[in-house]
């Protein structure tokens, strides 16, 4: 049985009217509990545990606290929620020895949350949907950077990046570049 063009038009108009009515009535699909976690934004706190005074700048954020030069024991935190890409981005710089690394954090709708440290566009270390007590470490011979995933709170997927003095000083006093592959280590 073939339907006439007017019957097809009426069917399309009926379907559109139903969709509009549902939208205007306040009906919306429920977010499955398993996906609710992806609605959270990302929070990264940079903690200075070193004898140096790094400068922390959040370049992508919704809000941040204590950006600038950090003394030992100080921390700077930034939070964000973006629809695409990273939620939070920033830079950790140390004037002497002239070191700068970038960090990124995200919680995409599909996939695992994560945070990484990069230098000159090269991946140094990162944490991706890991157990909460695993610390990912990169020691460049001058400074030691570690990322730790914390338990989520009501608003954020949380990570800390800790800057410490090196545990394996370089022989020439220069910082090593990021490794060419994978994660350099965990604790």
C-alpha separations of 136 from 33, 113, 116, 148, 149 in Å: 29, 15, 9, 7, 9
* pLDDT (0 to 100) of residue 98: 76
Which tens digit of pLDDT belongs to each residue from 41-90? 999 999 999 999 999 999 999 999 999 999 999 999 999 999 888 999 99
Which tens digit of pLDDT belongs to each residue from 7-44? 545 444 554 444 444 444 343 334 334 335 558 899 99
Question: Which position has the higher pLDDT, 104 or 27?
Answer: 104
Which tens digit of pLDDT belongs to each residue from 172-183? 877 788 775 454
* pLDDT (0 to 100) of residue 22: 41
Nearest to 127 by CA among 58, 184, 59: 184
The gap between the terminal CA atoms of the chain, to the nearest Å, is 70
* pLDDT (0 to 100) of residue 5: 52
Which tens digit of pLDDT belongs to each residue from 136-173? 888 888 889 999 999 988 889 999 999 999 988 888 87
Domain boundaries, the chain: 34-165
As a whole number, mean pLDDT of residues 112-119 equals 90
Fold that domain 34-165 belongs to in CATH: Mutm (Fpg) Protein; Chain: A, domain 2 (2.60.270)
* pLDDT (0 to 100) of residue 161: 96
C-alpha separations of 42 from 37, 63, 104, 134 in Å: 11, 11, 10, 18
Instruction: Quote the pTM value.
Output: 0.75
* pLDDT (0 to 100) of residue 37: 53
């Amino acid at each position: 049985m073939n339907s006439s063009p007017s019957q097809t038009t009426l069917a399309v108009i009926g379907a559109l009217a139903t969709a509009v009515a549902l939208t205007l009535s306040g009906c919306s699909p429920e977010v499955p509990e398993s996906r609710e976690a992806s609605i959270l934004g990302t929070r990264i706190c940079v903690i200075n545990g070193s004898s140096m005074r790094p400068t922390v700048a959040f370049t992508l954020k919704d809000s941040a606290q204590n950006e600038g030069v950090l003394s030992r024991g100080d921390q700077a935190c930034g939070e964000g929620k973006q629809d695409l890409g990273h939620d939070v981005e920033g830079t950790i710089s140390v004037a002497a020895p002239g070191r700068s690394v970038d960090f990124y954090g995200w919680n995409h709708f599909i996939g695992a949350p994560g945070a990484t440290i990069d230098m000159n566009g090269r991946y140094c270390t990162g944490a991706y949907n890991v157990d909460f007590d695993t610390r990912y470490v990169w020691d460049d011979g001058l400074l030691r950077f570690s990322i730790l995933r914390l338990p989520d709170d009501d608003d954020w997927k949380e990570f800390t990046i800790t800057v410490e003095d090196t545990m394996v000083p370089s022989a020439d006093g220069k910082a090593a570049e990021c490794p060419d592959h994978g994660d350099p280590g965990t604790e």
